[in-house]
């Protein structure tokens, strides 16, 4: 997380190569819902905690049929694994600040 004090922009950088993977600013905070693709509750919490102060809420992708996501048990594959889906959502709700909304996208 890198904040540019001059512009107010916040960049999140890839941990390996330093490229910008997400940018936002204060004006977006109350409107931004950040979507995660995950099937691992611990990883979901770690990622969500990185961005929750910059977003109104976190959305878990449970609808995307893309092979990249489904092959990793994410996206629409979570609909076939309700135990994993419930674990992700329950863990996030327990760990996220109360003011951070939590939703899931289902197609």
* Residue 52 known to be catalytic: no
Catalytic residue among 52, 64, 100, 104: 64
- Assign 3-class secondary structure to the chain: CEECCCCCEEEEECCCCCCEEEEEEHHHCCCCEEEECCCCHHHHHHHHHHHHHHCCEEEEECCCCCHHHHHCCCHHHHHHCHHHHHHHHHHHHHHCCCCCEEEEECC
Q: Which residues are catalytic?
A: 64
């Amino acid at each position: 997380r890198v904040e540019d004090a001059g512009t107010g922009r916040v960049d999140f950088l890839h941990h390996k190569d330093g490229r910008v993977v997400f940018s936002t600013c204060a004006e977006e905070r109350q409107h931004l819902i950040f979507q995660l693709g995950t099937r691992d509750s611990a990883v979901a919490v770690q990622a969500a905690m990185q961005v929750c102060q910059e977003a109104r809420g976190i959305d878990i992708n449970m609808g995307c049929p893309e092979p990249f996501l489904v092959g990793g048990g994410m996206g629409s594959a979570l609909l076939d694994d309700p135990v994993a889906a419930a674990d992700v959502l329950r863990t996030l709700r327990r760990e996220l600040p109360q003011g951070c909304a939590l939703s899931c996208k289902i197609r």
